[in-house]
Amino acid sequence: MGNDKPQTTNEKPRPARQVAGRAQLSRGLVQVYTGGGKGKTTAALGLAVRAAGHGLRAIVFCFMKTHGTYGEILGAARFAPEITLRAVGRETFVDRENPAPEDVRMAREGFAEARRAALSGEYDLVVLDELNIVLDYGLVPVDEVLALFRDKPKQVEIVLTGRSAPAAVLDAADLVTEMVERKHYYPEGVYARRGIDY
């Protein structure tokens, strides 16, 4: 936390920097949430809610979790227009070893849209949910993501989630959090629960 002191109940919240009549970050960084444990998307969407609470604008691109039954997608949609959601893939599993041409096309078109959003100046936080998996599957070239990191406006924060983040992405990021699974209830017969696991 550096020199930031926790706010007491007597202090007014400090707003983000005001630019052109709206809040804006003074410096945006690149964050990566990866690893085999639960919570990567949840953490990224929690960050989007935090940003919205301070008047920042967030957009979330869902590359693999495009089905409308995911609670995080349904929940974040309630924060519109502060949080914008974009599903940019098919509602089916992608074959890692032999992805369909449609999956490649949709992933690349989705990433191109995400790049435009990041460069537009309209959003302060751009979440690329499950993009690490997209990269691991070879649907989008890693070099294009690294170029986005270099080209983004300095006030835009970018967050990538998903397992198997490529080493080059980890090296280029400013913050990397790895979710490590120490224990899970699935082997005990507790399956995905609506509102908790999806």
d(CA 5, CA 7) in angstroms, rounded, equals: 6
| H or E, element range at 120 | helix 101-120
Q: Is residue 177 part of a domain?
A: yes
Supply the CATH number for residue 113's domain: 3.40.50.300
Residue 104 has which token pair?
Answer: 């490649």
Q: Is residue 2 part of a domain?
A: no
Give residue 5's pLDDT: 46
Predicted model pTM:
0.84
Give residue 37's pLDDT: 95
Which one-letter DSSP state was computed for residue 26?
A: S
- Show the domain range for 97: 27-188
Q: How many domains does the chain have?
A: 1
Q: Is residue 4 part of a domain?
A: no
d(CA 161, CA 70) in angstroms, rounded, equals: 16
Q: Is residue 94 part of a domain?
A: yes
| Unique residue bearing structure tokens 């070893």 | 97
Mean pLDDT by 10 residues, the chain (198 residues): 47 53 87 96 95 95 78 83 90 87 96 98 96 97 98 98 98 97 85 79
